[in-house]
Amino acid sequence: MPVYEYQCEKCKKSFEYLQKVSDPPQTKCEECGGPLNKCFNQMNFHLYGPGFYTTDNKKKYLK
């Protein structure tokens, strides 16, 4: 599940929420009750499994 960052318009605090993509966006600040805006930032994600790391033994394909 991705982590989304929101910032309150009223108090300017930032919050991170772990949400499903299908979940509705957060709308209310948990500190002051003001409206939240979703922030667009550089998202981090991890790929798990064989073949995603440079140290893995990858199959050598014939050309």
Q: Tens-of-pLDDT digits for all 63 residues of the chain?
A: 788 899 999 999 998 888 888 999 999 998 999 999 998 766 666 666 666 666 655 555 555
- Return the bridge partners of 38, or none: 6
Nearest in space to 30 (alpha carbons), one of 54, 7, 53, 55:
7
* CA geometry: angle 55, 61, 62, nearest 5 deg: 145
Handedness of CA 21, 22, 28, 30 (dihedral sign): negative
Q: What is the pLDDT of residue 3?
A: 83
Domain boundaries defined on the chain: 3-39
